[in-house]
Amino acid sequence: MAAAEGPAVRHAQERSSSSLRVAVLAGGRSSEHDVSLASAASVRDALIEAGHEVVWIEIARDGTWRRDGSTLSLTPGEGLAGADVVFPALHGPFGEDGTVQGLLETVGVPYVGAGVTASAVCMDKVLFKDLMGTLDVPQVRYAGIRAETWHEDRESALAAAGALGLPVFVKPAHLGSSVGIVRVARAEELEAALAVAFEHDSLAIVEAAAAGIEVECGVLEEPSGALLASEPGEIVFAAEFYDYEAKYTPGGMELLVPARISATAREQLRELAARAFRAAGCEGLARVDFFVEGERVLVNELNTMPGFTPTSVYPKLLAATGVPYAELVDRLCRLALARHAAAGARRH
């Protein structure tokens, strides 16, 4: 017997097939709060352009949810603000890590993007790399260091990091947007870099520097379940590395599409992007980041909710592959509705 239809499904059936009521989640508790606000504003504008009604829900830094300035209460099984579907334009912990996804599952509303498990796995850079390692996916060398290990056995932690050589990049394991990242060129700089990472997270990742160029690939799930891997884009920046300022300051980076890589590397990269997407259990969309050196292609990380700001790479890559911004957000919302309907037809 199929499960009973939830409120979101009923709302969608009552509306025109061409128009949806979409709740856009913005802000959040993480250090990527401001980036999320910018992403959400762009998503809102594109949804309106596509003919949809938007409900703006802003999550404050303290975790409070507000709509039109009033605190919003959620009830399990009763949906969210009468929305047909939710677009959680949230980045980092408490938004992209499975927590909000679990909440949306509980209230019973369709939502854009990866589910609970894939969101949690991909948010943890060490766990994601461990998973890719079991599948022999080529990637940069790395070491995960926990704060407890750092305090209790600093020598072994330094040895694990030192085995990667220099330079290395030290990052908080559960943040994106290059928040808290430090490039370490000398061994004596490592302790300070780890201290910065541990200010943000109890788990740090140390990555060996890659000699190749940075290339990114957007993945979009098709209604059939097939995956569209975008034309790869090369990241060109003037800074020493692709840091927060380079990502979000206008003119801080240049995206070259197509990337200046060989046809062989291009196809290998697009195949690896789809393979990583499937292996992590992603749904809807993702951006997969690579280093490419000649014919050598290395997976770096996967973002389940990439940026949607005016300078963000993911929507630019999809636009270059034939999916303009407004069509992209429309397709993502309809994919979310279809996924929710299919899940509701299963027995639990």
Model confidence pLDDT, tens digit, residues 310-346: 889 999 999 999 999 999 999 999 999 999 999 988 8
What is the predicted pLDDT for the residue at 240?
Answer: 61
pLDDT at 149 over 80: yes
Which of 302-320 are b and which e, b meaning 16 or more Cβ less than 10 Å from the residue's Cβ? bbbbbbbbebbbbbbbbbb
Mean pLDDT across the chain: 91
Q: pTM above the 0.85 mark?
A: yes
Interval 14-72: pLDDT, tens: 444 589 999 999 999 998 999 999 999 999 999 999 999 999 999 999 999 999 999 99
What secondary structure does DSSP assign to 194-211, as a single string?
HHHHHHH-SEEEEEE--S
pLDDT digits (tens, 9 = 90+) for 193-242: 999 999 999 999 999 999 899 999 999 999 999 999 999 999 997 656 55
Sequence ranges of the domains in the chain: 7-113+326-344, 121-138+211-304, 142-208
Burial letters 7-18, b for 16+ CB under 10 A, else e: bbbebbeeeeee
Pairing of strands 53-59, 21-27: parallel
Token pair 């830094």 is found at 61
- In sequence order, what are the residues at sequence separation of 6 or more whose Cβ sits closer than 8 angstroms to the Cβ of residue 198? 147, 150, 172, 204
Q: SS3 breakdown of the chain: % helix, strand, coil, rounded to 5?
A: 40, 25, 40
Which of 331, 298, 152 lies closest to 214 in space, CA to CA?
298
The catalytic site residues sit at 32, 177, 248, 287, 289, 301, 303, 307
Q: So what's the pLDDT on residue 179? A: 73
Residues 6+ apart with CB under 8 A from 96: 30, 88, 90, 119, 123, 176, 303, 304, 305
Beta strand pairing call for 213-221 and 203-208? unpaired
CATH, domain 121-138+211-304, list 1.10.3720.10, 3.30.470.20, 3.20.20.20, 3.30.470.30: 3.30.470.20
Element (H, E) at 103: helix 99-107
Q: Give the sign of the dihedral formed by CA 273, CA 275, CA 281, CA 284.
A: positive
The DSSP letter of residue 38 is H
Q: What's domain 142-208's superfamily in CATH?
A: ATP-grasp fold, A domain (3.30.1490.20)
* Beta-strand relationship, 85-88 and 21-27: parallel
Banded model confidence at residue 10, pLDDT cuts 50, 70, 90: very low
CATH of domain 7-113+326-344: 3.40.50.20
**% of the chain at pLDDT higher than 70:** 90
Strand-pair partners of 227: 221
Max Cα–Cα distance, the chain, nearest Å:
64
